Amino acid sequence: MQMIQKDFHMHCRFSTDSEAPPEAMCEAAIARGLTEICFTDHQDLGFEEPGWFRFDPEAYFRELEAVKRAYADRLQVHIGVEIGLIPDNPALAREAEALARDYPWEFIIGSTHQIPVELDGRTCYVDPADPADAARSWYHFPTVKALMSVYFETVLKNLEQFDFCDTLGHVDYMCRYVPKDLPPYRYEDHADQIDRILRAAVRKGTAIEVNTGGLYKGTGKTNPEERIIRRYLALGGRKLSFGADAHRPEHVGFGFDTLPDYVETLLSGR
């Protein structure tokens, strides 16, 4: 199988959770044998901490355009964004749409990082991957299944309510973060919900991302897991994007050489 040579999901120091210089990410990509990358730094909507997971797009384009030029003869560099979406909120939707429209992003990942919980009589969005929020999310719900149902429902709403996404980021993302003392997440419990997401993606022409971040986070799985990708293909989906979700140079293109044969099946058009 020919290795995937395009990593279209990575973060550099413009993301709140990365300190990586963009040049270091480019050097790592070249060392891994990649031909094309896309920076997709975080723009998450609705975080309660002001300024978290936001960056100044003007500064981002200024710096990355220079990086793009500097590497032009060795690596094709694209400038994209990962937008963390929140459904059912007209003000945030307008903000997201303006962000998507007002800058020349070459690629937009639409991701669901936060889920709604009722706290003190109002709906808050929380991220279980954030240790400060963990007690407000996983243990707030009666079961893992209940939380993951809310997660997939939120993913579906985001897919239906936003039209600017080129790909849907790590569709089962939240299952990465089930605490070890709780029963494991099971795909079977959510197969119908996931089918609704995949059918909507096929209908809208939105790609599904194969995110290899779980392979270095120790889950041993891509997100979404292989059977969800296979299901997407079975439902007629043909658009996949690939990304290692690197926040550090050593993770650029991580696991691309071990991606299973469904990729080969797809690339060969069979």
Contact footprint for Zn ion (CB under 5 A): 82, 111, 245
Phi, psi of 190 (to 5 degrees): -130, 15
Cis peptide, bond prior to residue 224, ω within 30 of zero? yes
What whole-number distance in Å separates Cα of residue 153 and Cα of residue 97? Answer: 21
In terms of CB distance, is 46 or 70 closer to Zn ion? 46
| Residue 111 C-beta: closest distance to Zn ion, Å | 4
In terms of CB distance, is 43 or 111 closer to Zn ion? 111
Per-residue burial over 236-256, b = 16 or more CB atoms within 10 Å of its CB, e = otherwise: ebebbbbbbbbbbbebbbbbb
In terms of CB distance, is 40 or 229 closer to Zn ion? 40
| Residue 113 C-beta: closest distance to Zn ion, Å | 6
What whole-number distance in Å separates Cα of residue 212 and Cα of residue 68? Answer: 24
Count of Cβ atoms closer than 10 Å to residue 26 Cβ: 24
| Residue 269 C-beta: closest distance to Zn ion, Å | 29
What whole-number distance in Å separates Cα of residue 61 and Cα of residue 160? Answer: 29
| Residue 11 C-beta: closest distance to Zn ion, Å | 6
Of 249, 247, 163, 258, the residue nearest 210 (C-alpha): 258
In terms of CB distance, is 73 or 242 closer to Zn ion? 242
In terms of CB distance, is 55 or 70 closer to Zn ion? 55
In terms of CB distance, is 169 or 237 closer to Zn ion? 169
What whole-number distance in Å separates Cα of residue 160 and Cα of residue 176? Answer: 24
| Residue 261 C-beta: closest distance to Zn ion, Å | 26
| Residue 169 C-beta: closest distance to Zn ion, Å | 5
